[in-house]
Amino acid sequence: MADSADTHDLSTLSLDELVACHECDLLMRRPPLADGERAECPRCGYELYSHRHQVIRRSLALVLAALLLYIPANFLPIMQLNLLGQTTEDTIWSGVVGLYESDMQGVAVVVFLCSMAVPLLKLLCQLLVLLSIAWDIGRGYGLLFYRIYHHLRDWGMLEVYLMGILVAIVKLADIADLSLGIGLLCFVGLLLVQVWLEVTMSPHQIWRALSGEDAYARD
Ligand SMILES: [Zn+2]
C-alpha cells in the first residue's frame, strides 16, 4: 500500500517522487516497489502501478505468441456451415469480403479495421516498443510507438467480435448443420494472449524503461 501518512511535507519532494491516483486524485509519495509488488491508493484502493518480474521478456514472448496466432485466427475457418446441401467455410477475412461484396462497404471497412487491422497494428507497436527496450536502440521511436499503441487500444475490438461469433453460432445452430473450425480456437487463443499481454506489460514500467530511467525493466 502507498504511504500517505506524510502528506503534509509533500511540497518538499520533487515531482519524480510523487504519484497521483488516477481515480480519486490523491497525491502521494511514490513508494519503492520490489519484484511482484503493487502499489494501491490508500483512499480508494485503485492499483497505482505494479512492478512485474522480467516484464520485457515475458511481454515479448506473449507478443510473439499473439502474432503467431494472428494468421490462423483470421484466415482459418471459424465455422463450417452446411445448409440445404451447400457447405461453406467462414473465416474472419471471408466475412469482411462477404460484407464488401454485398454492398455494405462501410460496414466491411469498420469490421476490417476493428477486427483485423487495429489488433495487428497494436501488436506490432508493442513488439517494436519491447524490442527498442530489449536491444536499447531507438528509444525515441519506442516512445512514439507506445503513444500510438495507447491511441489504438480502444479501437481493437476482438472481444466484441467474439461475442458476435458466439451469437451467430447459437442462432445458426438451429437452422443449419454447424461445425466449429480451428480458426475459432486460434481466435480465442489470440484474445486470451492479448489480455494476458495487457496485464503483463505494466505501463508504469514500460514508460520508465523507455525514458531510460530504469535499467531494471530489461531484466
Ligand atoms: Zn485513489
> How far, in Å, is the centroid of ligand 1 from the Cα of 196?
25
CA distance 81 to 95: 13
> How far, in Å, is the centroid of ligand 1 from the Cα of 208?
21
Q: Residue 188 CA to chain centroid, in angstroms?
A: 14
Q: Which three cell numbers stand for residue 91?
A: 473465416
Using one digit for the tens of pLDDT, what is the confidence trace for 161-174? 888 888 888 888 88
Overall pTM > 0.85:
no
How many angstroms separate the Cα of 158 from the Cα of each of 106, 111, 114, 121?
A: 19, 10, 7, 13
> How far, in Å, is the centroid of ligand 1 from the Cα of 41?
5
> How far, in Å, is the centroid of ligand 1 from the Cα of 9?
19
> How far, in Å, is the centroid of ligand 1 from the Cα of 207?
21
Using one digit for the tens of pLDDT, what is the confidence trace for 87-114? 888 888 998 999 999 989 999 999 898 8
pLDDT at 160 over 60: yes
> How far, in Å, is the centroid of ligand 1 from the Cα of 23?
5
Using one digit for the tens of pLDDT, what is the confidence trace for 177-187? 888 889 999 99
> How far, in Å, is the centroid of ligand 1 from the Cα of 145?
29
Quick one: pLDDT band at residue 78, thresholds 50, 70, 90?
A: confident
> How far, in Å, is the centroid of ligand 1 from the Cα of 19?
11
Quick one: pLDDT band at residue 4, thresholds 50, 70, 90?
A: very low
> How far, in Å, is the centroid of ligand 1 from the Cα of 50?
15
Parse the chain into domains and list their residue ranges: 7-50, 55-214
CA distance 217 to 129: 13
